[in-house]
Amino acid sequence: MALFGKTAADWRISNPKAEGNIRDYATLEQLVVLTNIESLNAVLISQDLQAPDRLLQLNRIAIQQLKTLLNKSLLRKLQ
């Protein structure tokens, strides 16, 4: 939810002909961010942060990281 804005189940419903899962269609940048926020989620769980608060924080972090990674990727392509 924090990265793609939908659950894997929701994605499967809206993409019934797609093989695999949502991760199979993610960009490299999305996969990097997903790995990061999965780790951060474990930390937030250990701090007893409730699910809605974790989702909000993880979404903000995901957006920030994606922007950073995409800007750096674009700069590399321009060089």
Question: Which residue carries 């993409």 as its tokens?
Answer: 15
Q: Would 2 be classed as within a structural domain? A: no
Q: Would 21 be classed as within a structural domain? A: yes
3-state DSSP call for residue 20? coil
pTM for this prediction: 0.86
Q: What angle do CA 61, 62, 64 make, to 5 degrees?
A: 65
Number of domains in the chain: 1
| pLDDT tens readout for residues 33-51 | 999 999 999 999 999 999 9
Q: CA-to-CA distance for 71 and 78, rounded, in angstroms? A: 11
Q: Would 34 be classed as within a structural domain? A: yes
Q: Would 26 be classed as within a structural domain? A: yes
Residue 74 has pLDDT above 70, yes or no: no
Q: Would 59 be classed as within a structural domain? A: yes
Q: Would 38 be classed as within a structural domain? A: yes
User: Which domain range does residue 25 map to?
Assistant: 8-78
